[in-house]
């Protein structure tokens, strides 16, 4: 496990951090640092979130403010507040958007009825739904057309679940975790398939599937994993770190399903404590009492600058030694929505996506 220091991460010199000496086995207490941070990788923005945030930024650049966004573009307080300051207006329902205006649909997806509402109001729509969520929508349509009962594993009321359910409401039954399995009824136990929300706990979802299969042995699996790569990778990093952590700090908002799951996964896999914070100043200093090793990670809708602030907070309190825990490498990028790409090209502007750079100027969402 490569070691580095806080300064290397703040300057963005990841190479310097990884060129530090490698830690050996941690069996001798004299060899391990008094205080240290285990920093998860990957963490923060996934490809779908980056695409959605850039979509709003590009829309503001193209059309000028205000640009309306139905629901929070992603579930992160800092991202939403920053975009509001730039001229985005977030609304709960389509009928709150003035007739003829531009509206962006969030990364979590919407039901077909929302598209119909927008058309009735003559709205210019830009669909920033994550392509991996769109995949689940298409699976729901496909299995419904074949007259399957679809058991959708997810959290009741979550925007992604509402959107997916809206594709085939007469065929979809929500299963909200393992304890909900006993309540499920189907028309034909030989014609049942399960799908899932993309941001769930992998372990809990597999337990839900196991119980469903006990009841319905012919249960079919989705054609490919519905839980997205980023959710799985961030949970994998936490699983690797958790046994060595006295405390896990997850940067993310409380309405972010994948961020909340990271805290749960940390505690389930051995971290002595875990907390979710939007900002470094939400950390309670008493959490650090008697703590040697702090794990740090962030949800898939969190810009890296918020993690940087947490590392600074910890360094100021003696946790300057930072060791990355690399569970996977990510390079996936999604292209911008077609509506944005078309208008950008018409104005001679770049339609290229960009990575969430590790350490940029304060206030940047990338």
In this structure, what DSSP letter does residue 183 have? G
Residue 77: how many CB atoms within 10 A of its CB?
Answer: 18
User: What is the b/e burial string over 271-296, where b = at least 16 CB atoms within 10 angstroms of the residue's CB?
Assistant: beebebbbebeebeeebbeebbbbbb
Residue 357: how many CB atoms within 10 A of its CB?
Answer: 14
Helices 257-268 and 229-241: crossing angle in degrees, nearest 10, is 30
DSSP secondary structure letters along 317-349: TT--EEEEEE--------PPPHHHHHHHHHTT-
In this structure, what DSSP letter does residue 22 have? B
34 sits in which H/E element? none
| Whether residue 204 lies in the annotated active site | no
**Separation CA 127–CA 252 (nearest Å):** 24
**Separation CA 243–CA 278 (nearest Å):** 24
Residue with tokens 């961020």: 259
Residues 6 or more apart whose Cβ sits within 8 Å of residue 317:
285, 288
Task: Please check whether residue 301 is in contact with residue 74, taking contact to mean a CB–CB distance below 8 angstroms.
Answer: yes
Distances from the Cα of 4 to the Cα of 39, 106, 126, 200, 225, angstroms: 10, 37, 42, 32, 35
**Separation CA 121–CA 102 (nearest Å):** 11
Residue with tokens 């207006």: 89
Q: Which two tokens stand for residue 108?
A: 């979590």
Please provide the distance, in angstroms rounded to a whole number, between the alpha carbons at the two ends of the chain: 27
Residue in 139, 159, 160, 167 annotated catalytic? 160
> Which residues share a beta bridge with 103?
68, 125
Active-site residue set: 160
């Amino acid at each position: 496990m490569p070691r580095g220091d806080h300064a290397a991460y703040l300057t963005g010199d990841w190479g310097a951090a990884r060129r530090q000496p490698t830690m050996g086995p941690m069996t001798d207490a004299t060899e391990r640092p008094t205080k240290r941070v285990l920093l998860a990788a990957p963490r923060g923005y996934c490809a779908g979130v980056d695409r959605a945030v850039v979509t709003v930024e590009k829309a503001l650049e193209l059309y000028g403010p205000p640009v309306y966004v139905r629901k929070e573009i992603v579930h992160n307080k800092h991202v939403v507040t920053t975009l509001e300051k730039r001229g985005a207006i977030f609304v709960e329902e389509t009928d709150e958007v003035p007739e003829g205006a531009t509206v962006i649909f969030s990364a979590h997806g919407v039901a077909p009825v929302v598209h119909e509402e927008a058309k009735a109001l003559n709205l210019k729509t830009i669909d920033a739904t994550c392509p991996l969520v769109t995949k689940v929508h298409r699976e729901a349509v496909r299995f419904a057309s074949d007259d399957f009962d679809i058991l959708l594993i997810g959290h009741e009321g979550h925007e992604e679940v509402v959107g997916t359910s809206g594709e085939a409401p007469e065929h979809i039954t929500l299963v909200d975790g393992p304890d909900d399995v006993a309540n499920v009824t189907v028309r034909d136990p030989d014609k049942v398939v399960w799908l899932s929300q993309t941001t769930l706990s992998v372990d809990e979802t597999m337990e839900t599937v196991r119980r469903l299969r006990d009841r319905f042995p012919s249960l079919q699996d989705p054609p490919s994993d519905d839980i997205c790569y980023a959710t799985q990778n961030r949970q994998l990093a936490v699983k690797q770190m958790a046994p060595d952590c006295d405390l896990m700090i997850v940067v993310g908002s409380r309405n972010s399903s994948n961020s909340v799951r990271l805290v749960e996964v940390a505690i389930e896999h051995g971290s002595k404590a875990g907390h979710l914070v939007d900002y470094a100043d939400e950390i309670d200093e008493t959490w650090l009492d008697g703590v040697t090793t702090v794990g740090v990670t962030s949800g898939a809708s969190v810009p890296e600058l918020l993690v940087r602030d947490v590392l600074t907070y910890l360094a100021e309190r003696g946790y300057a030694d930072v060791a990355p825990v690399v569970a996977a490498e990510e390079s996936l990028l999604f292209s911008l929505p077609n509506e944005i790409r078309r208008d950008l090209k018409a104005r001679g502007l770049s339609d290229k996506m960009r990575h969430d750079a590790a350490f940029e100027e304060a206030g940047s969402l990338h």
